[in-house]
Amino acid sequence: MSQESTSPTNFIRNIIDQDLASGKHSSVVTRFPPEPNGYLHIGHAKSICLNFGIGQDYQGQTNLRFDDTNPAKEDIDFVNSIKSDVEWLGFEWNGDIRYSSNYFQQIFDYAVELIKNGKAFVCELDAEQMREYRGTLKEPGVNSPWRDRSIEDNLDLFERMRKGEFKEGSHSLRLKIDMASPNINLRDPIIYRIRFIEHHQTGNEWCIYPMYDFTHCISDAIEGITHSLCTLEFEDHRPVYDWVIDNISIEVHPQQIEFSRLNLEYTVMSKRKLATLVEDKLVEGWDDPRMPTIAGMRRRGYTPASLVEFCKRIGVTKQENMIEMSALESCIREDLNTSAPRAMVVLNPIKVIIENYPEYQVEQLTAPNHPSDETMGTRQVPFTREVFIDAADFKEEANKKFKRLVLDKEVRLRNGYVIKALRCDKDSDGNVTTVYCSYDDETLGKNPSDGRKVKGVIHWVSASEGVPATVRLYDRLFTVPNPAAEEYFNEKLNPESLISVTTAIVEPSLVTAKAEMAYQFEREGYFCADSKESSPDALVFNRTVGLRDTWENNA
């Protein structure tokens, strides 16, 4: 039952292989355990691909479990967005969705068991005293004065905490481990606190909630998780994980294994920081196409295949790392280069009038949807006497390197005829507004008959048949590679992370473009219709990524 797919191996898969070979386990059960306190980001995609990838490759199971122990920050909207992100990435969880809150009664019962065994106590230190007693990295902590209460008193007080007899913060349940441990997490950690907050799953059933360190290991054990994969910041919590499982009457002991988080340049990768951007309205929302959230990237035009491929390429290790944005961008570019149909869109139009072409004639030209994949078919592109080209594609004079339209020279209109520029009009600022041209009616789909060489090809859109659109050009959200290291990360937002181009003209076939369906706008990049704001009457396209990596040169 070893892995069958092409997934690259890693130290975690090596551990699993050994566990299967030694007979420690006969099958593999993993879980993805998001806290529903924000949208998932690309870092979570790494964890999803790791957990679900292992589940698939070892013919095991992967549970989706909401780690919902902090009702103050959680929300059913987040639950729903997380579910749809996991599905969109193409993964299927085992059985029903699970919630840590499903296990609140069992977790409570294990807490009672620990009290009965003299391994947990009700403490009445307040938050500030708790800090003082805890000690520091250099100084051991001091035992709570409440540590030696009788088991009867502890049972009674814990029951009364549950009944809501005490105020928030006045009582907590703590493990009795070791106040002198060099690992602060082992200094009698709190496992229950009082919160009079309604929970999105359990309503008002509980006014005490278990802490993460107590909940997570028990939930894993209840579900029979064999390998509990988490990020490195939990390494110091592993002794608590193991202590709890060893001290309660549960048979299974899942193995916690830590790996390094994904960090990506020019963005932030923490739900708390992303939440600030949303709350301070520095972005449009969690699914703003500039956000590194799965929902944002999806709206921007990233495909599930490109994100899965990215996670495969970055691999899984224990090394802290910072991945270049170009690694992500090349994954989507490679995917879309083969899958995205081509279309013509002029972002910054100037008019071309073809003087020898009949007025009012609309000629339907046939254009291939993909230059190297005939199976993607063709489409009709209307050609007319007046067309738009991009302002950057015309110069009155230029050297030979400029393979576009120049006065007295020829260029081919993509999928159409060869035209020659005769003269131009300019506005009072000297900007070209109109180029007057002639066309050679013998050049549709073939070279000029007299052997003239026409090297340049430019894109264009019919002036009368084209449709106006807003095109959003996205760039890095931040101006610095590691914004998280800044004192005020949100002061490093890139003011040019969104440029909204309102002058664009698109070919008519794009009016029916489906949201999230990717196109290559020839010579401009990869784009998709915005899933929230685009409609046939008011088209809005998002740039997913440019055709090549231009940022390195600009930086």
Residues that bind Mg ion (CB under 5 A): 35
Smallest separation, CB 237 to Mg ion (Å): 12
Q: Give me the DSSP letters along 528-552.
A: EE-TTT-BTTBEEEEEEE-SS--HH
Give yes or no for residue 231 binding ligand ATP (CB under 6 A).
yes
Q: Residue-wise over 237-261: b if at least 16 C-beta within 10 A, else e?
A: bbbbbebbbebbebeeebbbbbbbb
As a 3-state breakdown, the chain gives helix, strand, coil percent values, each rounded to 5, of 30, 25, 45
CA distances from 165 to 51, 172, 241 (A): 42, 13, 30
* The CA-based dihedral angle spanning residues 401, 405, 406, 407, taken in that order and rounded to the nearest 10 degrees: 160
Structure tokens at 181: 């441990």
Binding partner of residue 336 among Mg ion, ligand ATP, none, CB cut-off 5 to 8 Å per kind: none
24 catalytic? Reply is: no
Give yes or no for residue 43 binding ligand ATP (CB under 6 A).
yes
Nearest residue to Mg ion by CB is 35
Whether the CB-CB separation of 520 and 343 falls below 8 Å is answered with: yes
Q: Of 261, 351, 370, 414, which one interacts with ligand ATP (CB under 6 A)?
A: 261
Structure tokens at 471: 């095109």
Total residue count of the chain as it appears in this document? 555
Cα 165–170–173 angle (5° rounding)? 85
C-alpha to C-alpha distance for 133 and 188, rounded to whole angstroms: 10
C-alpha to C-alpha distance for 290 and 286, rounded to whole angstroms: 9
C-alpha to C-alpha distance for 318 and 249, rounded to whole angstroms: 32
Give yes or no for residue 44 binding ligand ATP (CB under 6 A).
yes
Scan residues 110-139 and list those touching ligand ATP (CB under 6 A).
none
Part of the chain binding ligand ATP (CB under 6 A), chosen from 242-250, 264-272, 464-472, 482-490: 264-272
Part of the chain binding ligand ATP (CB under 6 A), chosen from 42-50, 163-171, 352-360, 501-509: 42-50
Binding partner of residue 106 among Mg ion, ligand ATP, none, CB cut-off 5 to 8 Å per kind: none
Pick 271 or 459: Cβ nearer Mg ion: 271
Pick 31 or 171: Cβ nearer ligand ATP: 31
Q: Give me the DSSP letters along 420-461.
A: EEEEEEE-TTS-EEEEEEEEETT-TTS--TT------EE--E
Whether the CB-CB separation of 64 and 83 falls below 8 Å is answered with: yes
Binding partner of residue 269 among ligand ATP, Mg ion, none, CB cut-off 5 to 8 Å per kind: ligand ATP
Structure tokens at 357: 């072409």
Query: What is the dihedral sign for C-alpha 436, 442, 443, 448?
Result: negative
Binding partner of residue 195 among Mg ion, ligand ATP, none, CB cut-off 5 to 8 Å per kind: none
> Residues 261, 273, 395, 414: which is the catalytic one?
261
Give yes or no for residue 254 binding ligand ATP (CB under 6 A).
no
Smallest separation, CB 279 to Mg ion (Å): 18
Q: Of 7, 12, 29, 46, which one interacts with ligand ATP (CB under 6 A)?
A: 46
C-alpha to C-alpha distance for 161 and 167, rounded to whole angstroms: 9
Smallest separation, CB 212 to Mg ion (Å): 8
> Residues 271, 290, 299, 409: which is the catalytic one?
271
Scan residues 61-90 and list those touching ligand ATP (CB under 6 A).
67
Q: Where are the alpha helices (DSSP H) in 301-324?
A: 304-314
Closest CA to 220 of 33, 19, 16, 26: 33
C-alpha to C-alpha distance for 414 and 293, rounded to whole angstroms: 37
Smallest separation, CB 250 to ligand ATP (Å): 21
CA–chain centroid gap for 517, Å, is 18
SS3 of 331, please?
A: helix
Give yes or no for residue 202 binding ligand ATP (CB under 6 A).
no
Smallest separation, CB 284 to ligand ATP (Å): 20
Give yes or no for residue 262 binding ligand ATP (CB under 6 A).
yes
Binding partner of residue 43 among Mg ion, ligand ATP, none, CB cut-off 5 to 8 Å per kind: ligand ATP
Give yes or no for residue 216 binding ligand ATP (CB under 6 A).
no
35 catalytic? Reply is: yes
Smallest separation, CB 82 to ligand ATP (Å): 8
C-alpha to C-alpha distance for 409 and 438, rounded to whole angstroms: 11
Give yes or no for residue 312 binding ligand ATP (CB under 6 A).
no
Binding partner of residue 33 among Mg ion, ligand ATP, none, CB cut-off 5 to 8 Å per kind: ligand ATP
Structure tokens at 98: 């699970």
Q: Of 12, 13, 20, 33, which one interacts with ligand ATP (CB under 6 A)?
A: 33
- Kindly give the interhelix angle for 304-314 and 42-57, rounded to the nearest 10 degrees: 80
Smallest separation, CB 261 to ligand ATP (Å): 4
Scan residues 266-305 and list those touching ligand ATP (CB under 6 A).
269-272
Smallest separation, CB 315 to Mg ion (Å): 23
> Residues 35, 159, 324, 386: which is the catalytic one?
35
The CB density around residue 22, as the number of other CB atoms within 10 Å, is 8
Nearest residue to ligand ATP by CB is 43
400 catalytic? Reply is: no
Give yes or no for residue 47 binding ligand ATP (CB under 6 A).
yes
Pairing of strands 349-354, 386-390: antiparallel
Smallest separation, CB 314 to ligand ATP (Å): 10
Pick 193 or 237: Cβ nearer ligand ATP: 237
Closest CA to 376 of 337, 415, 409, 348: 337
Number of residues that bind ligand ATP (CB under 6 A): 16
Give yes or no for residue 35 binding ligand ATP (CB under 6 A).
yes
Smallest separation, CB 97 to ligand ATP (Å): 14
Please identify every residue annotated as catalytic. Answer: 35, 261, 271
Enumerate binding residues for ligand ATP (CB under 6 A).
33-35, 43-44, 46-47, 67, 230-231, 261-262, 269-272
